[in-house]
Chain A
């Protein structure tokens, strides 16, 4: 099948991109790797008048990572780059895991981390861990640059807080808290290459034997990635035993809003969400312990 007709722009700077979006107005679509955009155009779910590609913008694909600096991922950095980055794998293994667990080699070689977030799929694999780690977005618009937390960015399936002429330029993740660990677990009916039916990303920070902070985010169980604050509260200030984590898992599944669809029933999602949350918490606790 052919693609419907549209104009293509390849701006060289972010300012130029933002300018183009403003000029073209309605019907303009930002594209990074295109793994969502082009598929949607092909399926005729999206009929843009113009596509504004970001990949020619120099320097937008940078990744910088350090224990003090934190992590900054440019808007056109590929999922493959994130998954393979040594610094990320050392300091933010949960982020690297989520990137590596997204789609397949070919898709990861085209797709971007920013695109995965801006696409705002409730099942996006990279959102939960970034949310758990308090990630922040840098956004450029006609009025200049703004920053905002990733939490609250998702408004519904495919809908974000972005204005039509705005572009995400980078994702920032603060330095990992001391004695903290993250983990992302997801599952689908088929196996390795599949759309996530249930996912959970967690961050756990320890003080002594007790849990100092916990953040739990769930994907594919509601219109956007969801936070599980009650489950978090069950852990904070407590010794995170396996039993407590199992209880937190059950609570988290009560906080989710899963639906029945062709990928899984609501029942099943709830049931395994408890299991996955417990397992992710355990993995995060073990990682935190290793950091000593």
Chain B
């Protein structure tokens, strides 16, 4: 594409990079306000119990303690992100009557320092009446199982069904049918910044909350309802955030407590979690049990798939309902399944709640689907990549009633990954202990569903243009480290023909940026936030084009453009002026009224899931020590279709991060939970890959043009959390004969399952 774009497709450095690398970036926990108090939470030591009595009097008497609260002090309003279905809102900020997992928040203390707050926690007496507890989906679904929530006597909080075609007939028409059960484990989002929130109550009693969140708007709304205040009386500001990966997209108890206690004491209150709290009680990726049956023709053509998934949700819904929904959609992706059926059930257990985590159901669903694809390829005697290409979705494909694939570079991704990795040769010639395997993914670019029931556009942007040639972009989109501030500026710069340095950005402040934005999750920001920015920019352009056109008395058929800081008639650069001059003139014409435009994006008529899907294929090469079972990953090759690449460097960063998380998911990370207690509560024992453990990699972006996305862009980086585990599992199988159907792949499992 010669010079079509000035700044799209360029390696623009992230505008937070230097601040973060030098330590100058201020995160919530770095903030201090005069008179600030420090909060700590008392958590349940039991997995399931009725609260008989709480005595806080000794804690209150401890010098330095300024406020102690329990559920009884609060308005007792339940919350949850599915506002459209209030019965799914099952969580109180502080436990009322019952606790449901080890770590459930029971009381909060605010004191002059952290040590005093911790000491006060030890002085709170809670009398519990212990109840029987369940720790996995089978136990939770047993007839005699105790119900965690009255509203869900079976412990199934929500289910989701999808069905099209005729699965039973599909299976009878198949030549080859296989059925497998898979289990996957819990992992932690492991973001570097533990959750932190700082609340300030102003003279009018309104709240300002700085908080480490992916979703300031959702926090604002739910904080208002739980505090019994009006939405506009709450201002949520997202400072620098050190990652979220889905773990920071709900209202959380410390956000409530900080705000509630700031109102009570009149002093700012800050809560910061410890790593131990994050690992033991924090949100995590759902463990699941997946049963899948697929049918093929002899030649490898897919005929039918039947998928049942039980999500081990932990004690509350959190984002589980959305994950349940999405699991079923991901199960139907990548390939053409003429007949498909899905049943997903979200099950309560007495453990820390699982929630969204990078992939939102896809890593689990696709681990099963892709592993099964690899197993089927072997039995059908077809190369796994060939089998995929044979069944791959292409642009224009439709999933009945659910979505239309408006752009798809999946086959190209498969071909490219095979080529880069030397697939054909290595698949044949490897010696024992060496192996190569493939895994693929598809992912959404934001959801079209509105379970939060927002009354606002899904994304919004405001652009203010100034006569000095600068613009100010205001958006509630939240950069949590993924780089949206940079990418949105790039989109705006490209539209208006300006440089990055000409744009000031204010983002993620609910009182200052336009309503609204559903937040950073589901890979929605580039497409939706970008769409809103583009929409606003185009309104500014229209105004400037009119002004310049009038000034030069241009024929109405002339096309105009903004480029290199100028606004002019296309092909006739002399008939134009600088951006600033054009703004000044436009402003004159408006008798001084500033040039401001609002832009919006809300998906409409885009099916049930998402406006656009990304695709990709990944190949892993491993070496396995056949005596110890230790796997070392030699190299990863990735080819993926994320539409137009807005910032190659940012996409590469996403890719590396995904491989890092994907390898951890496949090989080393696991929250080990025994009787509801998470045993590995430090990064020493919760094993993420370190920089030195990372293999080299190569990647290629297959550029497609996504009509719904800004400049043709769509999702990058979240979907990529999915292919790594099945690719590594297949490579390990290729190397050892051990087939992993229950993640993670551990040295012990390899030694036990290895074929001699």
A residues in contact (CB < 8 Å) with B? 1-2, 4-5, 43, 104, 187, 189-195, 262-265, 267-268, 271-272, 275-276
Contacts and interface: CB of A to CB of B under 8 A. Distances in A.
Contacts of B685: 195, 262-263
A1 B114 CA distance: 7
A193 B115 contact: no
A192 B692 contact: yes
Interface stretch (B85-93, B130-138, B153-161, B744-752): B744-752
Interface string B678-703: 01101011011110110000000000
Nearest to B672: A262
A187 B630 contact: yes
Contacts of A262: 672, 679-680, 685
A187 B668 CA distance: 13
B553 interface: no
Nearest to B744: A189
Overall SS of chain A's interface: loop
A261 B113 CA distance: 36
B537 to A, nearest CB: 45
Given A264-B748, A265-B748, A275 B672 contact: no
Nearest to B694: A191
Contacts of A104: 690, 692
A240 to B, nearest CB: 19
B690 A193 contact: yes
Nearest to B685: A262
Contacts of B692: 104, 191-193
Nearest to B273: A1
Interface string B655-671: 00000000000001000
Interface string B204-248: 000000000000000000000000000000000000000000000
B687 A189 contact: yes
B114 A2 contact: yes
Given A1-B274, A2-B115, A268 B690 contact: no
Interface string B54-83: 000000000000000000000000000000
B144 interface: no
A43 B682 CA distance: 10
Contacts of A4: 115
A187 B114 contact: no
A271 B688 CA distance: 25
B2 interface: no
A190 B632 CA distance: 10
**Counting chain B CB atoms within 10 Å of each CB, which of A104, A189, A262, A263 scores highest?**
A189
Given A191-B632, A192-B690, A272-B627, 9 more contacts: A1-B274, A4-B115, A43-B682, A187-B628, A191-B668, A195-B684, A267-B748, A272-B629, A275-B627
Nearest to A188: B687
A268 B693 contact: no
Contacts of A5: 115
B389 to A, nearest CB: 34
Q: Which 8 pairs show the lowest CB-CB distances between chains A and B? A: A190-B687, A191-B693, A275-B627, A268-B748, A192-B692, A193-B690, A190-B668, A272-B628
Interface string B105-143: 000000001110000000000000000000000000000
A263 B685 CA distance: 7
Contacts of A189: 668, 687, 746-747
**Counting chain B CB atoms within 10 Å of each CB, which of A193, A194, A275 scores highest?**
A193
Contacts of B679: 262
A111 to B, nearest CB: 14
